[in-house]
Amino acid sequence: MTLPTHPLGNSGLHITRVGFGSWAIGGGGWSFGWGPQDDAASLATMRHAIELGINWIDTAAIYGLGHSEEVVGQLLREMPSAERPLIFTKCGLVWDERDRMKPPQRNLNPDSIRRECEASLRRLGVERIDLYQFHWPDTGARVEDSWAAMVKLIEEGKVRAAGVSNFDATLLERCEAIRHVDSLQPPFSLINRAAAEKDIPWCARHDTGVICYSPMQSGLLTESFTEERVAALAEDDWRRRAAEFQPPRLSRNLALRDALLPIAQRHETSVSCIAIAWTLSWPGVSGAIVGARTPKQVDGWIGAAAIKLTRRDLDEIAAAILHSGAGTGPGKARRPRALKSKVA
């Protein structure tokens, strides 16, 4: 199966419009886990995604406290080199080995970045990381010093492209002054739309790629999610304590999800695909990171890569956002201001 691709800014990487997110395959037993996960199921799911055409996997050192990277590394060892996907991972969240449930600490000190990079290379079993990203900002370190450390890793051949996650436009500017930021990974969905206000337009103006995460709002924007399912989540599933999964937001979010059904029926696809396609409709968005724990879940959203939402679709979605009162941020896809005059 061939999926459409898109340049990741000017990094030289061309990625499929959807990529595989491996947060959940880190398993449970840590502060932001998704509950128990079988490694064999994780491997089968990633193989299936790659067979369907996905050419990149996004992971992070913190997912499962190293375990997600280990499982991805096992996948790579079992594949011919020519068939391996691009591997994106992240640093900057450091955990306490003595207490797995203790929330990780943000750390972007240069020495820590280098240690984390070396550890990720070992777990993944690769000589170079295709895209290395700062996971979260760290107010305890000057971002200029942190980004300079990233530049050194590129110069040493350990990293091919460099990006950031959860950074705002102000921090992006400070990094850009030292070395181009190849990509931004913001949370972005029909519910969490904040990145569309300033950060995604900044990336569009600076030729920085955008790979948004949680386009289905961690499962909320799927047909099968219900209020009852929240109560049935594993005790160590971080979503049990997330505000979007609790009243009064939960009912508004599910109402928005339900409003997508007529659009999905018109396209003969799933609500999940429509939710993901909406994020991909924003100018400046290169791709969306979508997680799965079983091959069947991949089948439920893989079609989003090829969906082209019409103006009617986008207007109906904007009206549904307004009516439901769900989430925050712009509700209607639009051209970045800097590009309007070029299109007119």
What does the radius of gyration of the chain's CA atoms come to, in whole angstroms?
A: 19
Residues noted as catalytic: 63
Closest Cα partner for 321 from 196, 165, 167, 168?
196
Task: Indicate the burial class of 220 (C-beta count within 10 angstroms; 0-12, 13-18, 19 or more).
Answer: buried
Q: What residues form DSSP beta bridges with 18?
A: 288
**CA atoms of 294 and 38, how far apart (whole Å):** 10
**CA atoms of 211 and 15, how far apart (whole Å):** 10
What is the sign, positive or negative, of the torsion defined by CA atoms of 107, 129, 100, 298?
A: positive
Q: Can you say how many angstroms the Cα of residue 213 is from the centroid of all Cα atoms in its chain?
A: 2
Which two three-digit tokens encode residue 309?
Answer: 């939402």
**CA atoms of 337 and 289, how far apart (whole Å):** 26
- How many angstroms separate the Cα of 16 from the Cα of each of 183, 303, 323? 15, 12, 33
**CA atoms of 21 and 323, how far apart (whole Å):** 31
